[in-house]
Amino acid sequence: MIMEMGYVGKWSRDLYLGMDMNGTPLMMKLGGQTLASAYYQLELASKAGISPNSVAPQAFFEMALGGSTNPYCKGYNSCTAAVLANEGASGTYNLPVQYLTGVIADLDGHWNFPGCDGCDILASDNQGLAAVDTSTTRGYANYQAGFLTLQKRAGHGLTLSANLTWSHTMDTDGINQEYVEDSPNNIYNLAYDYSNSPFDRRWVGNILAYYQLPFGKGQRFAANNAVVDKIIGGWSFAPIFSWGTGLPLETYTGSCGEVGQGYINWCAGAVPLVNTGTFGHSPHLAVKTDCVVGAYNDPACGFGGTGGNLFSNPTAVFNDFRPMYAGLDTSTFDDGPYYGQSRWNIDFTLAKSTKFTESAGATFYAQFLNGLNHMEYNDPGMNLLSPGNWGTLTSQFNSPRTIELGLRLYF
């Protein structure tokens, strides 16, 4: 038997990265206040239900919109009040769903920046284009892994290969890095999007074996009868066992414009308020909900479904997340930090070889894919703007058991 331990590290830089030039410059500052800070104060006011004319003026909006001389601000106590009225619950509803991109798009054409009346922030608004995308080499990634392997070469009828790997990989995009029309959420600060890669499966284990059963002529358990030895001899069993922890599960605030992304973007994720490891990673069946969170898969709520949910208490987990806020958070939580269901599977082949003569014989085999007919669900959706679907398990991840039979004759 041979045991081997190893380490693999890979640091990558200057990777291809699409860049949507419509990204909002959160760091822009006027009157000693950044755009991000001013926007976050409006988010708080919207969430608290403050009336527009009661909101505290924000220096950035007052200077960027030019004060009461701007027609956009007329009829309100301040330009900040005008923004809250037009973008809040009684307006376009962009603030309640954290859609900063929509807020900026609506304000483009109303800005009165010092020395630049009517300027636009979003590049496509300024150019009259649907989107402005450029190719860069600003991406970077990091992969670290340790592995343990065990191999047994053929002996006593058994051949075995097993491995266990721990790895962690991070990059600057919420989708495969080489995707050509995707952009990080914050093009001005890629650290916001430097997070778990979508394929960041932490633990993976595999066992492959081939075992010739010790029955029949020349084996440990022989019948010493030609007919019986033909029947019980020549059997082999070859299993493949695979296991892995879950992949990062994308959560959503809902708007996909939380930090002022452009129009070719990935989406920011919801922010966990507790250690997500407490949520578990195994499905629950016949879950009883409050008919609000996870209700769309709860038959008792009148929506049908099986009652399957990733969480035993969907409402409690839902309340342990909040939206991502520009001006407060410095990470967009593209993937994770919550990981989905662990996966395991067993495939195996059962074969029987029989020799008729010295040079002629036959091999019968039966291959079982998903041999135990083990049911696994796809990971659920987790969108704060769609509580009814929160955690619901509705579709199958793996294929049902498949059996293939074969016969091989040789001479």
pLDDT in tens, 273-327: 999 989 999 999 999 999 999 999 999 999 989 899 999 999 999 999 999 999 9
What does the pLDDT read at residue 161? Answer: 97
Average pLDDT over every residue of 188-206: 93
- Provide the mean pLDDT of the chain: 91
What does the pLDDT read at residue 173? Answer: 79
What does the pLDDT read at residue 134? Answer: 85
Percent of the chain topping pLDDT 90: 71
Q: Residue 234 and residue 222: Cα distance in Å, rounded?
A: 11
Which H or E element spans position 234?
A: none
Q: Residue 341 and residue 149: Cα distance in Å, rounded?
A: 24
Prediction pTM value = 0.87
Average pLDDT over every residue of 181-197: 89
pLDDT tens-digit readout, 354-399: 988 888 999 999 999 999 999 999 999 899 999 999 999 999 999 9
What does the pLDDT read at residue 296? Answer: 96
Residue 68 has pLDDT above 70, yes or no: yes
Measuring CA to CA, how many Å separate 24 from each of 215, 295, 331, 347, 372?
72, 36, 15, 50, 52
What does the pLDDT read at residue 406? Answer: 96
pLDDT tens-digit readout, 80-96: 999 999 999 999 999 99
Which H or E element spans position 177?
A: none
Residue 217 has pLDDT above 90, yes or no: no
Q: Residue 290 and residue 303: Cα distance in Å, rounded?
A: 13
What does the pLDDT read at residue 307? Answer: 93
Residue 235 has pLDDT above 80, yes or no: yes
Name the burial class of residue 103, with classes exposed (0-12), middle (13-18) and buried (19+) by CB atoms within 10 angstroms of its CB.
buried
Q: Residue 271 and residue 328: Cα distance in Å, rounded?
A: 11
What does the pLDDT read at residue 266? Answer: 77
Q: Residue 190 and residue 183: Cα distance in Å, rounded?
A: 10
pLDDT tens-digit readout, 108-142: 889 988 777 667 888 776 666 777 888 888 989 99
| DSSP code string of 389-401 | GTTB--SBSSPPP
Residue 223 has pLDDT above 90, yes or no: no
Contacts of 274 (CB under 8 A, 6+ apart): 320
